[in-house]
Structure 1
Amino acid sequence: MIEGDAASVYVAGRPAGTEPVERSYVQVIRVRTLLAWVPFVIGAVVLDRLVLAETPVGGLLLVLVPLLAVLATALAPPRIWARLGYALEPAMLRVVRGWMFHTDTLVPLVRVQHLDVARGPLDKMFGTATLAIHTAGTHNSIVTLPGLSPARAAELAAAIRTHIKADLD
């Protein structure tokens, strides 16, 4: 695998030449973001009620932390989705992601060991799947491509398998 910060031309938020993942994956990201904020909101309520209740700033956390959670849940997922793309090239798979920290991963198909198509409860709910590519080596040996339709994930897996079989012959 080759990783780097490619200086690419961007089209609609993602590097030119890459395909977007399913639009419904925004909802998966949104639910995961909301679930990640739940402990912070609970912690803010507890801290506010037990420690800050009798101070001049009592009640401030009850407003600020949930507001921050709502803003993060509304604004971040579309940006994360817009920066997630992929391209299956003749000899490699390119996975591009990152809103704040950009990662451009190139997986040579000759290094692919095996493939998994996974669907968790949120994926099933919103009609998405994740393609996991296991490669030779130890560092970053699993590359995931989330947000594909189940049919597209299976299609990509079949295309990569065909390439692997051609290399073995």
Structure 2
Amino acid sequence: MIDDLALRPLEPAYLSVLRTRAAINAGVLLALALGAEIAVRSQGGPPGLVAAPALLLAAWSVFLAPQRRWARWAYAFTETELHVARGWWTHAHTIVPVRRVQHIDLTRAPLERKHGLATLVLHTAGTEHSRVVLPGLLREEAERIRDDIRASIEREAR
């Protein structure tokens, strides 16, 4: 049944969000590395001892890692379940039955708002894995899924 389910990728605009977040983190890393590089050089250390590895890590985190992260997320929503698949090394396919949803959040960070995106967060009964996060949806799609889940919950409550 899961193999027949057509999973959809996250919105391509989410890749820009991931890259921007990575660039901000890389900027902080490079600033710290520059400070460490100056300290190492003042003690007679070789040039590039700290800055070179930091620059390589920053380049990887901005240009390669976001594409890999984005490509490893997919989802599908049926009338009764939300499927969220993710992971590169460890694959996880989470199935959330709509009837188990207790609370729904729709969040929009500044970068997501800029790109018209939202993150859907489902809270279910239980303690372990009771929070399922699905980022990178168009705001309208996230709202549609939220509203469909809410309507389904209200129908079952009657």
TM surpasses 0.5: yes
- 155-164 vs 66-75, which moves further: 66-75
CA contact (8 A) 1:53 1:59 kept: no
So what's the TM-score if we normalise by structure 2?
A: 0.88
Structure 1 moving runs of 4+ over 6 Å: none
Which residue of structure 2 lines up, in the alignment, with residue 43 of structure 1?
A: 32
**Is 1:81 paired with 2:52?**
no
CA contact (8 A) 1:80 1:99 kept: yes
- CA distance in 2 between counterparts of 1:26 and 1:16 reads 24
- CA distance in 1 between counterparts of 2:85 and 2:126 reads 20
Which residue of structure 2 lines up, in the alignment, with residue 108 of structure 1?
A: 97
**Is 1:146 paired with 2:135?**
yes
Deviations 1:37-79 (A, max 9, x none): 2332222111111124444522332233123202221111111
Q: Which has the higher contact order (CA 8 A, sep 6+)?
A: 1
Which residue of structure 2 lines up, in the alignment, with residue 133 of structure 1?
A: 122
Secondary structure class of the residue paired with 1:100: coil
- CA distance in 1 between counterparts of 2:123 and 2:61 reads 32
- CA distance in 1 between counterparts of 2:148 and 2:6 reads 18
Secondary structure class of the residue paired with 2:121: strand
So what's the TM-score if we normalise by structure 1?
A: 0.83
- CA distance in 2 between counterparts of 1:99 and 1:34 reads 21
**Is 1:18 paired with 2:7?**
yes
Unaligned runs of 5+ in 1: 1-7, 10-14
CA contact (8 A) 2:5 2:76 kept: no
Which residue of structure 1 lines up, in the alignment, with residue 79 of structure 2?
A: 90
Unaligned runs of 5+ in 2: none
- CA distance in 1 between counterparts of 2:42 and 2:51 reads 11
- CA distance in 2 between counterparts of 1:97 and 1:52 reads 43
CA contact (8 A) 1:52 1:58 kept: yes
Which residue of structure 2 lines up, in the alignment, with residue 59 of structure 1?
A: 48
Taking only aligned residues, the RMSD between alpha carbons, in angstroms, comes to 2.0
**1:157 aligned residue (141, 146, 154):** 146
- CA distance in 2 between counterparts of 1:100 and 1:52 reads 38
Which residue of structure 2 lines up, in the alignment, with residue 5 of structure 1?
A: none
CA contact (8 A) 2:121 2:133 kept: yes
Question: What is the Cα deviation at residue 16 of structure 1?
Answer: 6.2
